[in-house]
Structure 1
């Protein structure tokens, strides 16, 4: 164990992050919902253990497995490390439950999907926008909130009008279209500073090369695709399941439980879909130097010639 700890790199990924299965194992660990009920003292202990390991002073008797548990199950899931897309106000802090688990807004949006009229849908989308904008920098909240809510609401109400004569199942899918539209607005608005100023790019060894707007756009696009994929099964498959269940007499007798049942089923979908969607693309994204902005490309070429063919950056979550 001592020999293993002497060469142990706490910041190295436990699984190969270049493969989907490796990323899936990683995200299944850091999205373990059981960590939500752990006391703050356990999270503080995990953070202290990770930091002591980084400083080279791991407590005697600590195993590699304990270090992995502290890092991937507790530290990475509950402490904001300042990766792309995170508000600087919370870097190094334990993330509040409602913001750390912000993907649960999909659960809220499943409520009343069968009879999503103007008022109920408005409330659902307003709550969704509040949750997704929660960790934004204060100056961005107003614009992001208004833009995201307006887009989602316009999409949902417009589709509701368009699908009035459509089969009931089609109407049940309207909230998913609204969620997809909201994500297409929410994520870029949350990370607008990266789009305007660029995201930090490095070489293979982590040496900073500059900031790229094109890299930011690529990373944000991948995040949007992941978020929509995350919501898709629960909001496309679940309406089909509910439509069939509601034909049974026992379901017709417990209409008051339809909402809680949908929430529970969406939660089950999300347990699997959050890590799966986050695993679609590597966290450390790459981009060819030839596709960067001319100024940055020329700067890299002038300094490194053709030695640097790819740049790397954190795509965010």
Structure 2
């Protein structure tokens, strides 16, 4: 009699998330730009496979590899907390094609206030969409709160870019080329906390090691957002920094000065190379299922946890992306 097939734990990623390499392998799969091309039918089929398998169905017609493929496709398109299908441009698999296009234009068109305003607004609108789509937690955000957060995020980011642009006018052109990157880094520090401000005010769900919910924590939310801000800044660093090296060569060429869209296209081509690697590697800097010592939680939540029948010293939470 053949032995039963070992059960796959689809509640956890395929690779060990306690190591950087394990997390990197996981995010190379989930941020794969080709996942954007998956049809709605394919995504729904992947979700059906994952949900049926989690309920205990054996699915003998599918190999382990096919089950993992369904899990990876599911993870790339469905929110880990709400289980809802995410808007396509907000998924991490859309980061490479979208960011290479936007950042390429930002690195090309930055010399006039009009160019700075438009491309910083466009970039921060996209970032706001990504931050909202990949927020932690499961509570809906009211349209009013979302509108205020969006206005603060994009307004703060554009204001930061314009201010920096004014400050560097007295410096050599090389310094001016750092304006887009500096503005992006500063804007991430504004945009992400604004778009996830509900989490800061009300907290995010925290769980014990077995997945049992033990409460909501504002301190965990702050930790999660800080990790995401750092990861996003690091994600933008390789591509934008390398372009600063190529920029002077491009600007010395007459054809580049006249055909700015070719210039932007070269930026996008270079960025695509860097983003394919930077996106998953920077997502992997911190575990998706992050943790915090109970002693660092709010005092009232600590008391609630200490009253539980089973003692725990750490809680776990989804940090978002």
Q: Please, what TM-score do these two structures have when normalized by structure 2?
A: 0.87
- Secondary structure of the residue that 1:200 maps to in structure 2? strand
Contact 1:133 1:141 in 2 (8 A): no
* 2:193 paired with 1:202: no
Structure 1 stretch displaced more, 91-100 or 24-33? 91-100
CA deviations on 1:156-177 (whole Å, 9 max, x unpaired) are: 1111111113222221111111
Which of 79, 97, 117 aligns to 2:88? It is: 97
Match of 2:80 in 1: 81
Question: How has the CA–CA distance of structure 1 residues 161 and 20 changed in structure 2, closer, same or farther, with 3 Å as cutoff?
Answer: same
Question: How has the CA–CA distance of structure 1 residues 171 and 76 changed in structure 2, closer, same or farther, with 3 Å as cutoff?
Answer: same
CA deviations on 1:248-275 (whole Å, 9 max, x unpaired) are: 5775675441011112222222111110
Using the TM superposition, give the Cα deviation of residue 81 of structure 1 relative to its aligned residue in structure 2, in angstroms.
3.0
Contact 1:151 1:181 in 2 (8 A): no
Match of 2:156 in 1: 151
CA deviations on 1:156-212 (whole Å, 9 max, x unpaired) are: 111111111322222111111111122112111221121111111122222222111
Match of 2:113 in 1: 118
Question: How has the CA–CA distance of structure 1 residues 149 and 57 changed in structure 2, closer, same or farther, with 3 Å as cutoff?
Answer: same
* 2:134 paired with 1:130: no
CA deviations on 1:213-258 (whole Å, 9 max, x unpaired) are: 1111011100110111111111222121232344457756754410
Question: How has the CA–CA distance of structure 1 residues 165 and 110 changed in structure 2, closer, same or farther, with 3 Å as cutoff?
Answer: farther
Residue segments in structure 1 that go unaligned for 5+ positions in a row: 83-90
* 2:315 paired with 1:314: no
Q: State the distance in 1 between where 2:163 and 2:105 align.
A: 19
Q: State the distance in 2 between where 1:303 and 1:36 align.
A: 43
Contact 1:106 1:231 in 2 (8 A): no
Which of 180, 183, 191 aligns to 1:186? It is: 191
Q: State the distance in 2 between where 1:115 and 1:311 align.
A: 45
Using the TM superposition, give the Cα deviation of residue 78 of structure 1 relative to its aligned residue in structure 2, in angstroms.
1.5
Using the TM superposition, give the Cα deviation of residue 105 of structure 1 relative to its aligned residue in structure 2, in angstroms.
4.0
CA deviations on 1:102-158 (whole Å, 9 max, x unpaired) are: 563464133153551100111112212322233644233321222112221222111
Contact 2:47 2:74 in 1 (8 A): yes
Q: State the distance in 2 between where 1:315 and 1:141 align.
A: 20
Aligned residue pairs: how many?
306
Q: State the distance in 2 between where 1:99 and 1:235 align.
A: 21
Match of 1:8 in 2: 8
Which of 245, 251, 269 aligns to 2:274? It is: 269
Q: State the distance in 2 between where 1:303 and 1:94 align.
A: 34
Question: How has the CA–CA distance of structure 1 residues 248 and 5 changed in structure 2, closer, same or farther, with 3 Å as cutoff?
Answer: farther
Residue segments in structure 2 that go unaligned for 5+ positions in a row: 133-140
CA deviations on 1:60-102 (whole Å, 9 max, x unpaired) are: 2311111111111x111112233xxxxxxxx434333222225
Contact 1:163 1:170 in 2 (8 A): yes
